[in-house]
Structure 1
Amino acid sequence: MYCAIASTPLIAQSGTGSGTVAASGYDAFAQNPGIISNPLSQPALTPGALVLLELEGRFSQAVTEGGGKAFGSWFADDGVILNNGKPAILGRTAIAAQAQWDPKTYQLSWTPQGAQMGPSNDMGFTWGHYEGRSKDKNGEPVVISGRYFTVWKKLPNGTWKVALDASADEPPATGECCTLPKP
């Protein structure tokens, strides 16, 4: 899935500003019904948050095109992955070693739903919904989905990298947690 955010220009992040952000080139946010969170309808969205949404869009697009190899390349040297029910993966080298999927056989996509930049403008986080698609041994489609949380940090050289990526399976539908099995 293509994330419309990936096609927008990167905004400079000078200051934290809290007013409405209106910039040319952001019509894609308002026009694309596939985006769950619309930055133009959130007047408190800062330029820093837009930077993080831009990064998240570029990250998602790179993974759509390059699979696991691209996924691993976005992490800081000391990056961490926390996934539901699995041990933590520590460091970009370990992350890259485990992220070996081919985008032709497994497609991972996600849509950011929000972002928040820290007051120093060198660290922030994004969150949203992800979906993974593949086929089982019989060729039947397999779809997994859930929520994710990404912590971004700005390195001394000015580049941004993923410091933490965490995900959890989609929660049960409302009421499913408390119903008794039927005989």
Structure 2
Amino acid sequence: MAEAIHRLDAAFTKAVSAKDSQGLVSAFYALDAVLMPPNQPAIVGREGIRAALQGMMDAGVTGLKLETIEVGSAGDLAWERGKYTLSISPPGGTPIQDVGKSLVVFRRQPNGSWRAIVDMYSSDQPAQ
């Protein structure tokens, strides 16, 4: 299970670098997944998640590094607690990095694969 989650993370970061929101969503998220970004309402379902992630990519996201702190499981559910570093180069703006934390809950699918059902993250930067 932990190895499968690490493979999902690698595919996620690769898709972000390639700006492939469709590939990212279909490989990482379950059909009924919920994305819980900071300071926004929850986004339910793959299409909404895809649109939100594409918006981030269009805003200048150039890379993502994920670091796993903890992985655990119970039956058909698993979780991953981690850190992220997001590189952003906004068009016409100054490049920045955002560092934060994440918690993802995965569910084993009928075919034995794992997909995220809840993805929540928040920045470590102070509120402005």
**How would you bin the TM-score normalised by the shorter chain?**
0.7 to 0.9
Unaligned 5+ segments in structure 2 are: none
The alignment-based identity, stated in percent, is 24
Structure 1 residue 103 displacement after superposition:
7.7
**2:40 alignment partner, one of 71, 83, 86:** 86
Task: Verify: 1:68 aligned to 2:34, yes or no.
Answer: no
**1:127 alignment partner, one of 78, 81, 92:** 81
What is the distance in 2 between the residues matched to 1:136 and 1:143?
11
The one-letter amino acid paired with 1:72 is V
SS at 1:156's partner residue?
Answer: coil
**2:67 alignment partner, one of 107, 112, 120:** 112
What is the distance in 1 between the residues matched to 2:40 and 2:12?
23
Higher-strand-fraction structure:
2
Root-mean-square deviation over aligned CA pairs = 2.5
**Conserved in 2, the CA contact under 8 Å of 1:151 and 1:162?**
yes
Report the equivalent of 1:141: 95
What is the distance in 1 between the residues matched to 2:89 and 2:5?
32
Structure 1 residue 77 displacement after superposition:
0.9
1:136–1:171 distance in 2 versus 1, CA, 3 Å:
closer
* TM-superposition CA deviations, 1:57-83 (whole Å, max 9, x none): 232223323443333222111100111
What is the distance in 2 between the residues matched to 1:107 and 1:147?
18
Structure 1 residue 169 displacement after superposition:
1.0
What is the distance in 2 between the residues matched to 1:116 and 1:59?
17
What is the distance in 2 between the residues matched to 1:60 and 1:86?
22
Question: Which moves more between the two structures, 87-96 or 153-162?
Answer: 153-162
Structure 1 residue ranges (4+ consecutive) displaced by more than 3 angstroms after TM superposition? 101-105, 136-139
- Taking structure 1 as the reference length, the TM-score comes to 0.57
SS at 1:118's partner residue?
Answer: strand
Unaligned 5+ segments in structure 1 are: 1-47, 173-183
The one-letter amino acid paired with 1:152 is F
Larger Rg: 1
**Conserved in 2, the CA contact under 8 Å of 1:81 and 1:95?**
yes
1:65–1:99 distance in 2 versus 1, CA, 3 Å:
same
Structure 1 residue 171 displacement after superposition:
5.2
- Taking structure 2 as the reference length, the TM-score comes to 0.77
* TM-superposition CA deviations, 1:150-174 (whole Å, max 9, x none): 11111112222111110011155xx
